[in-house]
Structure 1
Amino acid sequence: MKLVGVCMAAMILAGSSCTGNANRTKTVTGNTDSLYLLVGSYARAQEEGIRVYVFNQETGKGTFRSGLSGISNPSFLTPSADGSRVYAVGEDEGVSSTANALSFDRAKGTLSLINSQPTNGGAPCNITLSPKEDYVLTANYMGGSITVFPLGNRGELLAGDTLTFTGSGPDKERQAQPHLHSVLFTPDNRLLLANDLGTDCIHVFPVNNKKNGNLLNRTEFYDVRLVPGAGPRHTCFAPDGKHAYLITELSGDVIVLSYDEMKLDTIQTIKADTLAARGSADIHISPDGDFVYASNRLKGDGIAIFSVSSEDGTLEKVGYQPTGVHPRNFVITPNGKYLLVACRDTNEIQVFARDAETGLLKDTGEKIEMSKPVCLKFVPME
């Protein structure tokens, strides 16, 4: 199915503000010391491309538990809410690209393959579960598409339906076509946001609650258009669900958006990449909602650190933490004490201690060595 959206401009008004909730609820979860750390990577199918570690979020130390081979380039993962299932992409660029369903034995800390399905869109680089966990969706970078997979009774992937987009951006090399980079449901479960690096759009789909066989309302979808050449990549939401933070790969900005009644409005743009490296990657907010972190690659590799205004959700840059080479996805422990970074080209996961008062990071010297790590996900232990 090919989709052409009617773009609704989101005004880029740096310095303007909107009314926020000054008394935000700060939720800090995680009382269990040890967690499973699941790692996706770039790897050949015969290699253990997905690895499971036990990570102690009090001491900052990780130990290897198990590995799974059989999937080519399992670069990105998403676990189910109860941790019993994990879904992984197979990020091949051509027809061999896949989505994969895995079962996770939390008692043993081992993964096993349930089944695989073709994405019918090259280089799936992101994967997510629907709010009711009855569908899995992939963002297909080279395919310029997203694929929606219904799930069977065992959590297996059924045949997918691929939605292909059209358009391009001003960068003739990196925006010659749509490049879907992430799929994310809003915290209220009412919208799907699909970030398209190639067309500088967020494709917005209302979630269809009617039982007509379609997860997404494809007749009322629309686009939020960003500044040309921005290259939207990943988004995270504040714990209160009222603000979103979008990292743009090409312009290296963090765009702050308010979210209310299914509407996104841009209220601030602030620079994460000051070197014009054009390689910003990932973004996350601390569990208490006080700090936003964004990774940058290609020049001055590291993590930009921002404090969050409790008044309106806007950001102020407070620091920068150098990391290993090519930091991709990173993750913050549920208790907020550590931030772990997947450094693809130095083949390591770095562990940084996080100061809850200042937001600043400190290298603990602890590292998990692994070939080409890309994606980090925590799953509670039983």
Structure 2
Amino acid sequence: MTDSRHGLPTRRAVAAGALGLMAAQAAQAAARGERLVYVGTQADKDGQGVFAARLDTATGKLAPIGVVAPLQRPTWLVAHPALPVLYALSETGYGPREQGKIHALKADPATGALTVISTVASGGGGPAHMSLDGEAGGLLVAHYGTGHVAALPVRADGGLEPPALVQANQGSGPSPQQQGPHAHAVMVDPTGRHALVADLGADRVFVHPYDAATRTLGPASEASVALPPGTGPRHMALHPTGRHLYLLSEIKPEIRAYRLRDGRPELLQTLRAGGEPPINGAEVAVSHDGRFVYASIRVEHVVVVYEVDEARGELREIQRIATGGKTPWSFALDPTGRWLLAANQGSGAVTVLGRNNASGRLAATGETMAVDRPTCVAFPAWG
């Protein structure tokens, strides 16, 4: 199939061809029992950047590959679901009228090597988080530094165009960290028509209309929800059914369960996730089967495990376990569900916790891999 205007392959045709190649490469890796994993870092030193490794899914052991993209402060990574492309933000642009950068990187699934396809301005200062829309035609970026939310078009080859539209939200809170808006996470809801933004500075979950065809965002709507002053919402995770949203806050370490109705979050439950501030929440994720939710608490250096009530979507804490490192900035479950990899920024290590798929509980393995100031973990589907 070609684009009739230019005689070029369509996005769907390119993706289909790439999927066939990746399926063969992934099958070879699976036969070896290995998964490619990328680690984002806060490293500023020369020779540092995006780190790669291979996880043995049978034993949980990590084999480091090393730095595969020497970028400045690549603190958040996202893998394209159909193309061998990894997106990395550079958490920079905190000066006046400065912007951060977003890099699109072509991956070699056989070696983990990355090469730059394109680099564009992020649309605001201090980008902290990004995610792809359901069609993978747009990349959304949340900016902690300036509070902006940007939508960037994704090309057929996986490269990026400059932001199609940028929205600025307003708000503040009582904490010294809340002098203005600080967008800390962004994702498109299951309908594909709304972008949800957790804003730490404004104590809000902003809801923006989103047009996937044009990659444009409308101003925040009345569906936006306010949290108690001084909460500091940080990261969010969707349940696989699309009916529930889980929100972890940073300043007050709390986790909230919401029911989603056409992009509008309706609060179901609030649970304390840690002790008193400055103990702060960091990352939240839902297991692939939707039965468990995991949250990392940085100052306590733990991951908290919650069981999900299948009917109501509410949570019940069942475990609290040390990560084996300090300051777990983020973490990820591997595609088999057998392992949780924690990026311990404070101790410079990625640690591996074993996971029981039936009970959801975690166990220490003692497996650790040195990485300079790790902040996030990404498992590409094509790895």
Q: TM-score, normalised to structure 1's length? A: 0.86
Structure-2 residue corresponding to 1:13? none
CA 1:262–1:54 in 2, change beyond 3 Å: closer, same or farther? Answer: same
- Contact 1:351-1:364 within 8 A present in 2 as well: yes
Structure-1 residue corresponding to 2:304? 304
**Distance in 1 of aligned mates of 2:220 and 2:125:** 25
CA 1:379–1:83 in 2, change beyond 3 Å: closer, same or farther? Answer: farther
CA 1:221–1:48 in 2, change beyond 3 Å: closer, same or farther? Answer: farther
Q: SS at 2:224's partner residue?
A: strand
Q: SS at 2:217's partner residue?
A: coil
Structure-1 residue corresponding to 2:35? 35
Bigger mean CA offset, 44-53 vs 105-114? 44-53
Q: Does 1:254 pair with 2:258?
A: no
Tell me the CA shift for residue 279 of structure 1.
1.4
Structure-2 residue corresponding to 1:71? 71
1:109 counterpart (109, 112, 130): 112
Tell me the CA shift for residue 51 of structure 1.
1.4
Give the number of the structure with larger relative contact order, counting CA–CA contacts within 8 Å between residues 6 or more apart. Answer: 1
- Contact 1:205-1:221 within 8 A present in 2 as well: no
2:340 aligned partner, one-letter code:
L
CA 1:166–1:217 in 2, change beyond 3 Å: closer, same or farther? Answer: closer
- Contact 1:83-1:106 within 8 A present in 2 as well: no
- Contact 1:35-1:380 within 8 A present in 2 as well: no
Q: Does 1:159 pair with 2:159?
A: no
CA 1:357–1:130 in 2, change beyond 3 Å: closer, same or farther? Answer: closer
CA 1:371–1:258 in 2, change beyond 3 Å: closer, same or farther? Answer: same
- Contact 1:279-1:297 within 8 A present in 2 as well: yes
RMSD of aligned residue pairs (Cα, Å) = 2.1
**Distance in 1 of aligned mates of 2:162 and 2:291:** 41
The alignment-based identity, stated in percent, is 28
Structure-1 residue corresponding to 2:233? 232
- Contact 1:34-1:381 within 8 A present in 2 as well: no
1:202 aligned partner, one-letter code:
V
**Distance in 1 of aligned mates of 2:83 and 2:347:** 29
Q: SS at 2:257's partner residue?
A: strand
Structure-2 residue corresponding to 1:143? 146
- Contact 2:207-2:263 within 8 A present in 1 as well: no
Task: Give CA deviations for 1:106-153 in whole Å, capped at 9, x if unaligned.
Answer: 133211111211224221111112222222221110111112222334
1:314 aligned partner, one-letter code:
E
Task: Give CA deviations for 1:89-116 in whole Å, capped at 9, x if unaligned.
Answer: 1002332621111111213321111121
- Contact 1:66-1:109 within 8 A present in 2 as well: no
2:140 aligned partner, one-letter code:
L
Task: Give CA deviations for 1:210-249 in whole Å, capped at 9, x if unaligned.
Answer: x5x4532348575211122111111111121111111011
CA 1:214–1:370 in 2, change beyond 3 Å: closer, same or farther? Answer: closer
- Contact 1:107-1:381 within 8 A present in 2 as well: no
CA 1:239–1:214 in 2, change beyond 3 Å: closer, same or farther? Answer: closer
Consecutive unaligned residues of structure 1, counting only runs of 5 or more, are 1-29
Tell me the CA shift for residue 353 of structure 1.
0.7
Structure-1 residue corresponding to 2:374? 373
CA 1:327–1:128 in 2, change beyond 3 Å: closer, same or farther? Answer: same
Q: SS at 2:346's partner residue?
A: helix
Q: SS at 1:359's partner residue?
A: coil
**Distance in 1 of aligned mates of 2:297 and 2:282:** 6
Structure-2 residue corresponding to 1:205? 208
- Contact 1:83-1:380 within 8 A present in 2 as well: no
Alignment of 1:238-277 (within 5 A): 238-277=239-278
CA 1:263–1:96 in 2, change beyond 3 Å: closer, same or farther? Answer: closer
Q: Which has the higher helix share?
A: 2
Task: Give CA deviations for 1:2-60 in whole Å, capped at 9, x if unaligned.
Answer: xxxxxxxxxxxxxxxxxxxxxxxxxxxx9943211011101126323101211122210
Structure-2 residue corresponding to 1:12? none
1:187 counterpart (190, 194, 219): 190
1:126 aligned partner, one-letter code:
H
Consecutive unaligned residues of structure 2, counting only runs of 5 or more, are 1-26
Task: Give CA deviations for 1:43-98 in whole Å, capped at 9, x if unaligned.
Answer: 12632310121112221011123523442100101010025111111002332621
**Distance in 2 of aligned mates of 1:50 and 1:227:** 36
2:167 aligned partner, one-letter code:
L
Q: SS at 1:207's partner residue?
A: strand
**Distance in 2 of aligned mates of 1:216 and 1:163:** 7
Q: Does 1:331 pair with 2:332?
A: yes
Tell me the CA shift for residue 265 of structure 1.
0.5
Structure-2 residue corresponding to 1:356? 357
Q: Does 1:169 pair with 2:173?
A: yes
Structure-2 residue corresponding to 1:317? 317
**Distance in 2 of aligned mates of 1:221 and 1:257:** 16
Tell me the CA shift for residue 207 of structure 1.
2.3
**Distance in 2 of aligned mates of 1:350 and 1:187:** 32
Structure-1 residue corresponding to 2:59? 59
Structure-2 residue corresponding to 1:26? none
